[in-house]
Amino acid sequence: MRVILREATRDDTLRLDAFLAKRHETSMFLRGNLRDYSIGRSDHPNAMRYFLREKGGAIQGVAAISNSGTLMVQAPDGIAEIARFMKENLREDTEYTAMLGESGQVAELREAFGMQDAPTTFDDVEPLFSLDLDNLVVPANRGSSLRKPVNEDIAVLEKWAFAYMIETGLGQDNDETRDKSKHDAAERMKSGKMRVLVKNGDLVAQTAFNAVLPDTVLVGGVYTPPERRVRGYARLAVALHLAEARAAGVKNAVLFSADENASRAYRAIGFEQIGHYTITFFAPADI
């Protein structure tokens, strides 16, 4: 059967989501952006163009690029073919700002785009964890409670967002990172996907969902300030948020872990490592 390479249209939306849903652990950003912005309907930075590899009328793989230049891939085979077709159909001056996806596939995509040696500002292979929410373990809350953030929390959340970016290497100690931290904290609050853990009236941890789909959530933005660590606050916050999602009908959760301390916390509430996920941000052309 002949392989067909083409750009997806709105008519492909349901078929594409069904393909990605079978591989939900490594497709959450692709699925989330497809659900939130559809195909060809939005100028939002996260809206994407999707490029398909088909055989016998079935989707075999997909790679995509967002309006902001982020490349993502979900293609067990044929990544080089899809990349070649993408480059033929993208503007020559297209700036590629990031790559996200299952680590082996991202390595292939990066090579296919000739970007193995491209300078980066962040390039990390992180453990990928998955959890069937039927197996979620919720620790004792010990007087803590989880709630949505309110306007009075914003100063603390901005401070935590800045500290998170510095600790993870996603930003440097400068005004640009401070401005981005303020923007990110405000956007997370507005999205309704963020929760804070409160004890004795004080904020002690935060958690969020980076993507929410009917069957699966992607956990992200988990943070506990240094003075509150090693007390189980992060794992409790994540577990309570996931219990809330489970009550709403969500079946699965996925996350990437920044370090072994975080991994131990996630394993304690039922997560199991299933692979690795790569997050790469390329240096701007003027650096």
Model pLDDT for residues 222-236, shown as the tens digit of each residue: 999 999 998 999 999
Burial of residue 13 (CB within 10 Å: 0-12, 13-18, 19+) is middle
Show Cβ contacts of residue 103 under 8 Å, excluding neighbours closer than 6 positions: 125, 275, 276, 277, 278
Whether pLDDT at 205 is above 80 = yes
Q: Given this model, what pLDDT does residue 97 score?
A: 96
Name the β-bridge partners of 64. Answer: 50, 72
Domain ranges in the chain with CATH number 3.40.630.30: 132-275
Model pLDDT for residues 61-73, shown as the tens digit of each residue: 999 999 999 999 9
Q: How confident is the model at residue 25 (pLDDT cuts 50, 70, 90)?
A: very high
Q: If you average pLDDT over every residue of the chain, what do you get?
A: 94
> Is CATH 3.40.630.30 the right assignment for the domain spanning 132-275?
yes
Name the β-bridge partners of 211. Answer: 218
Q: Given this model, what pLDDT does residue 41 score?
A: 80
User: What mean pLDDT is predicted for residues 134-139?
Assistant: 97
> Is CATH 3.40.630 the right assignment for the domain spanning 3-118?
yes
Model pLDDT for residues 156-167, shown as the tens digit of each residue: 999 999 999 898
Spatial distance between the Cα atoms of 92 and 106, rounded to a whole number of angstroms = 21
Q: Given this model, what pLDDT does residue 261 score?
A: 87
Side-chain-side CA neighbours of 71 within 13 Å: the count stands at 28
pTM: 0.89
Model pLDDT for residues 274-287, shown as the tens digit of each residue: 999 999 999 987 65
Identify whether the C-beta of residue 254 lies closer than 8 Å to the C-beta of residue 96: no
